Structures are given as C-alpha cells and as structure tokens.
Structure 1
Amino acid sequence: MENVKLKKLLATIGKTIKQHRLQQELQPEDIAEMTNLTAVTIRNIEAGEETYLSNFLAVCLALKMAPKDILDIEIKLEPLYKLSQPRKEKSRLTPRINKILGSDFFTQERTAKDVVRELGAIYKISPSTAEVSVILKRKVKEGKLNIEKQGRLNIYKK
C-alpha cells in the first residue's frame, strides 16, 4: 500500500485493537485461537498491516467489540485522490441521458450522435459517441430503450 493516509489509519486501528486485547489480558495467541488465524496475522493487524475484512471482523468478535467501536477514530472525510475532470463528466453523463430519456426525445428514432448533439445543446458538453453509445446500450438492456440496426448505425427509440 502506497498511500500514507491509509497507512496511518490502519496503524491507528491496529493500535486500538492491541489496546483492547491488552485490557482483556489476552495474548496474540489467544486471539489467534479464537479466530482460527495465526498469531503472526494478529500481530500484523495490530501493527497496521493490511488484512481481509473478515479477519478484522473475526478479531472484533474475539475481543467482544463492535467494529464501529474499534473504528471510532478521527478521519478526515475526503477521497484519497480527486476525481479527474473526464471521470466527473462520465459519471454525470448517465443521469443526463436519463433526463433526456424522461422527455419525449426518444419518441423519434435517434442515433448516439443525435444524443451527443442534444447533450451539447442542453448541457454544453461534448462527450464522444462511443461514451454515449455504451450508456444507450445499457438502457436497452434495462428495457428503457429499443435498438434497431440500420447498416452500421444503432437507432434508438422508446
């Protein structure tokens, strides 16, 4: 794991687990026996190493601690990495196409290029026809649109 923020969070969680284990006067070997994990795995968790969620839950159960109590730590709630502008636009594309679907736009036969033009007119964006086509095909699978082939063109209609 490369992210410093995650490493610090895991270290804090591990330290909390170790504190609860010590308060209960238990050894890593005791927790290992109660979880069917190895003592090395328990020590690694306490040292802030990555682990499976199931291992974390098993340790919580062995300590008779609710996971939320162990995870009750101060966290700055923000993504590790900012969403790129292209990804932001792609994630907004489906809801925008859904709005167009809710209108009478698809009462006539439309191509992906028609949808790109409509998105440009309404939202001042210009996604690729490939991006729009992927979403339109998904809407066909969801039963919200019908598709018909005319040569190489996909024609969409409600």
Structure 2
Amino acid sequence: MSLNEFVNLGMARYKNETALKTLGLRIKAYRIKAQLEILDLAVMTGFSYNAISDIENGSETSISYFIEVCFALGIHPKEMMDIEFEVKSKNSLTPDRMEKSRLTQRIRALIQSGYFKDPRSTSDVTKNLTEIYKLDFESKNVSVILARFATTNTLIATKKGIRNLYSAK
C-alpha cells in the first residue's frame, strides 16, 4: 500500500459524511438556481467534471476546491457554510494532554515575563512552576516544552555539562 493510499484510508475514516452531503446538496442547489451545468462549473473552476460531481455528491474534497466552487457560483464560502451543525469535537482531550497544553501556556507566560533573561535549567523552571501553580508534574514534560521553544527560536539552549540552560532570545 502506498503512502497516498494509506493517507486516503485514514482521511476516509474521519470524514463527516453528514456535513459533506449537506454542503454538496447546497452547492448543487446553487448551481441549479444559477442555471449552470456541472460542465459549466468545471470550465469556470478548471476542475474536472468528476471533481465537481464528487463535491455535489458529498465526497471528500479539499478546502481549496470548495472555495473555488463557491467563487464560481458567486457565493462567499462562509455563506455556503451557514448550516446548523452539532458543534462537537470527535474526541475529548485527555486530562494528561490538557495539562501539557496548560504547561506550555504557563512556560510561554514565563518567557513573556522576562523570567528567562537569566539562563534557567529545566529543574529551575519546574521548581518555579510548582511554586506558582502548586501542581505536581514531571520535569520531563517541562524539558520537552523548553526544547520545543528552543527549536522555534523563542529560547536559546546552551549546554552546561550535561544540562541544557535556556535563556531569552
């Protein structure tokens, strides 16, 4: 199985068929109201007849295709999307993932506050966060987040022995 086939299988598992069918029917209704054939939309967008037909039938499509079809129909995509949907995430965040996100935000706040004007170790940051937020979390999570900030050039990481020290850019 090729990578593209694998990705397509993965995407197929997660598509929202109800939303795609609803949008496809709306696009078809607008096309008919505008007295256009599928082939007309194909010419106007540069997409194949089958691509337009697939969109109208609720098949998976890219956001770029959807936008271009809306433009060809003379309608803003947000207007086309004005449909009642149940707005609910497919999955909830686990408490562990939620805490890691909060930890990232807390470290970002330390960066913005000037805390890293002096070089800080992971242990320094962990102690500081523990004192401020009265929480118990693993320093390895802090270490991963600090390393991520260093790779995005938000912090500078320097080695001191076996430890990394992080300072403001």
TM range (shorter): 0.7 to 0.9
Query: Is 2:104 the partner of 1:94?
Result: yes
So what's the TM-score if we normalise by structure 2? 0.77
Evaluate the alpha carbon distance shift between residue 72 and residue 104 of structure 1 in structure 2; reply closer, same or farther with a 3 A threshold. closer
Segments of 5+ residues of structure 2 without an aligned counterpart are 1-11
Tell me the amino acid that sits aligned with residue 103 of structure 2.
L
Distance 2:102 2:50 in 1: 46
Distance 1:107 1:69 in 2: 48
Q: How does 1:40-55 map to 2 (within 5 A)?
A: 40-55=50-65
Which residue does the alignment assign to 1:136? Answer: 146
Distance 2:79 2:39 in 1: 23
Structure 1 residues 49-82: Cα deviation after superposition (integer angstroms, max 9, x where no partner)? 1111221122112211111221110122332221
Segments of 5+ residues of structure 1 without an aligned counterpart are none
Identity %, equivalent residues: 37
CA contact (8 A) 1:116 1:126 kept: no
Distance 2:25 2:154 in 1: 51
Distance 1:62 1:14 in 2: 15
- Paired residue secondary structure (1:154): strand
Equivalent residue pairs, number: 157
Q: How does 1:1-158 map to 2 (within 5 A)?
A: 1-3=12-14, 6-101=16-111, 106=116, 110-140=120-150, 147-157=157-167
* Shift of residue 84, structure 1, vs aligned partner: 1.8
- Paired residue secondary structure (1:72): coil
Evaluate the alpha carbon distance shift between residue 140 and residue 37 of structure 1 in structure 2; reply closer, same or farther with a 3 A threshold. closer
Distance 1:150 1:89 in 2: 29
CA contact (8 A) 1:119 1:126 kept: no
Tell me the amino acid that sits aligned with residue 13 of structure 2.
E
Distance 1:126 1:137 in 2: 20
- Paired residue secondary structure (1:65): coil
Q: Which moves more between the two structures, 67-76 or 102-111?
A: 102-111
What is the Cα-based RMSD across aligned positions, in Å? 2.6
Distance 2:155 2:47 in 1: 51
So what's the TM-score if we normalise by structure 1? 0.81
Distance 2:114 2:37 in 1: 67
* Shift of residue 140, structure 1, vs aligned partner: 4.8
